Amino acid sequence: AIGGARAFCGMKHVGLNVAADPLFTVSYSGINAGLVIGVADDPGMHSSQNEQDSRHYAMAAKVPMLEPADSAECIEYTKLAYELSEKFDTPVLLRLTTRIAHSQSRVAVSDRADARLKEYVKNAQKYVMMPAYAKGRHIVVEKRQNELAQWAKNASVNKIEWGSKKIGVITSGVSYQYAKEALGESASYLKLGMVYPINADLIKEFASQVEKLYVIEELDPFFEQFCKSIGVDVIGKELFPMIGELSQKIIREKMLGEQANTTSFSDNVPVRPPVMCAGCPHRGVFYILNKLKLMVSGDIGCYTLGAVAPLNAMDTTICMGASVSGLHGFNKARGEQSAKSSVAVIGDSTFMHSGVTGLINIAYNKGISTVIILDNSITGMTGHQQNPTTGYTIKGDPTSAVNLEKLCEAVGINRVSVVNPNDLKELERIIKQETSVDEPSVIITRRPCALLKTVKHEKPLAINKDKCRTCKACFKIGCPAISLKDSKAHIDSTLCVGCGLCVQLCPFDAIEKNGGNN
């Protein structure tokens, strides 16, 4: 954006934590062309490690935030965000939640309007944020805050919808949809499309025309606290939960005292928790780690599922990169002996994102920790995006590939091993060997993701029922292709990719490549 081109940066809520450093400073420096930062919060923690409310970032960084309530508003608000960004010389946060991100609704599209590249003008007092210059920019930020709050008073994205004035509702985003469906015309609504800064006069004007005022918002009492700070009495979190998603049912129950009609089913639907895919190259790693009873410092990726039964092989998962730095701290705290019984596990793409610095610290601070890099040749969990180790850009164009072995050696790790994670005996030998030495080491388990289209699988395996003793050794790896059928182990040929892990576990040689007596 400083270079003169409109820019968009998208992430989920925990990504904004990482981006907070530049966000707070670019609020001071301002931008050149428009800068919009899309952030998706996850009420209910459908796929996240916390349930934070990113609206607080707008207030803390003193930047405007818009929150659309449907797909059409996503487009409308994105366009507006760029206009605001350039008009007020500020980054703009565009907040979504999981439900809006996954929703579908009618959208009116328009012709694409390309923004011209703006001229870049050298201006150290604006863009070099050392204390002498930043002090002056803080004055600009406070002035901008007041101007934005005034703009918000008459902004088209802040709408009042009059219904019955006995009940007033202040809301935004998907909570507006829930409230409208639950209450209909029995209430009036102030829908805030700009969730920060909030115009106090707009709130007071709406409050003065309704008998009873509620704030309906997911997660923290963000609007509620603002209303109370300006002397407006509202009913909020004493009625609605601070945890999880809201719904039409919750609103009807809390405000109208209605209990939802429910239907009971005689047959229970089987629980289907997320599992590693059949043929996943991470499965063998966690089987061995569990077998060796090692403390495992985990990370963010498909392999986080190594924490659940039957593998049960992970002790901690905090954030991207924390496996390596966390293990380093754990070993420093508990002494060198702890390094003999603990490892970190991190995927190749996560390692490139934020694991390298932790590994540098291990080498620099003379740690003796062992780090296992799970190299599956792709960014698996989020949709098979390329990463710096694959040799392709995010668009699929050929590019240079980072060599993990050479990278680890370059930062000071002298012991780097590469192993096929489906060779359980060799994998176990390598892990035992590397955790026993008195220097830092890296084990790279290299096998491509089973879902990659370029991977050629072996023929499905099968159980020889005459040999099977139902010892359930094959169940210990948690493969979704293996189940119990007629008191015998059974392999689903539509799921099995012939990886051979179960063959190595069966003490009776009952799992055969050619099918046998299946």
Q: What is the pLDDT of residues 61-76, one digit of tens each?
A: 999 999 999 999 999 9
- Which pair of structure tokens corresponds to residue 128? 């070099």
* Mean pLDDT, residues 224-249 taken together: 97
Contacts of 410 (CB under 8 A, 6+ apart): none
The maximal CA–CA distance of the chain, rounded, in angstroms, is 82
Predicted confidence (pLDDT) at residue 518 exceeds the cutoff of 70: no
pLDDT digit string, tens, across residues 412-462: 999 999 999 999 999 999 999 999 999 999 999 999 999 999 999 999 999
Burial level of 333, CB count in 10 A (0-12/13-18/19+)? Answer: exposed
Q: Name the residue among 190, 88, 179 with its Cα closest to residue 142.
A: 88
Q: Name the residue among 204, 186, 189, 203 with its Cα closest to residue 255.
A: 186
**Element at 57 (helix H, strand E):** helix 55-61
Report whether 188 contacts 160 (CB < 8 A).
yes
**Phi, psi for 426 (deg, rounded to 5):** -70, -40
Burial level of 484, CB count in 10 A (0-12/13-18/19+)? Answer: exposed
Report whether 434 contacts 415 (CB < 8 A).
yes
Mean pLDDT of all residues belonging to the chain? 95
Cα(147)–Cα(284) distance, integer angstroms: 58
* Mean pLDDT, residues 231-241 taken together: 97
Predicted confidence (pLDDT) at residue 11 exceeds the cutoff of 50: yes
Long-range contacts, 361-366 (Cβ 8 Å, 24+): 361/325, 361/328, 362/324, 362/327, 362/328, 362/413, 362/440, 363/411, 363/412, 363/413, 363/440, 364/412, 365/328, 365/332
pLDDT digit string, tens, across residues 103-150: 998 998 888 888 999 999 999 999 999 999 999 999 999 999 999 999
* Mean pLDDT, residues 198-223 taken together: 97
Radius of gyration of the chain (CA): 28
Domains of the chain: residue spans and CATH: 7-153 (3.40.50.970), 158-256 (3.40.50.920), 283-446 (3.40.50.970), 462-512 (3.30.70.20)
- pLDDT in the model for residue 513: 80
* Mean pLDDT, residues 367-372 taken together: 98
Q: Name the residue among 380, 294, 387, 282 with its Cα closest to residue 344.
A: 294
- pLDDT in the model for residue 517: 43
pLDDT digit string, tens, across residues 318-342: 999 999 999 999 999 999 899 999 9
pLDDT digit string, tens, across residues 455-506: 999 999 999 999 999 999 999 999 999 999 999 999 999 999 999 999 999 9
- pLDDT in the model for residue 273: 84
- Band of pLDDT at residue 514, cut at 50, 70 and 90: low
